């Protein structure tokens, strides 16, 4: 024989936060900058071999 299950009176509230959500991103762009500088230096050397 099956027993009865009492109803659970739980409740969930979902509301927006009072303060804005802040997401901080630390992005490392060092590699890209070094690559561009290296490419520029190589182009400069190729165009002006007499200065080096």
pLDDT tens column, 7-32? 666 788 888 888 998 898 887 766 66
Average pLDDT (35-52) is 84
pLDDT (0 to 100) of residue 8: 63
Phi and psi, residue 12, nearest 5° = -115, 130
Which residues make Cβ contacts (< 8 Å) with residue 9, sequence separation at least 6? none
Domain containing residue 35: 20-52
pTM of the full structure: 0.35
Which residues make Cβ contacts (< 8 Å) with residue 52, sequence separation at least 6? 45
- Would 7 be classed as within a structural domain? no
- Would 4 be classed as within a structural domain? no
Decide: 42 and 49 in contact? Cβ < 8 Å.
no
How far from the centroid of its chain's Cα atoms is residue 22's Cα? 12
In this prediction, residue 43 has a pLDDT band, given cuts at 50, 70 and 90, of: confident
The number of domains in the chain is 1
Q: Bigger pLDDT: 6 or 41?
A: 41
């Amino acid at each position: 024989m099956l027993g009865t299950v009492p109803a659970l009176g739980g409740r969930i509230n979902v509301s927006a936060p009072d303060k804005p959500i802040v997401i901080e991103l630390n992005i490392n762009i060092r590699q890209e900058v070094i690559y561009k500088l290296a490419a520029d230096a190589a182009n400069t050397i190729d165009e002006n071999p007499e200065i080096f």
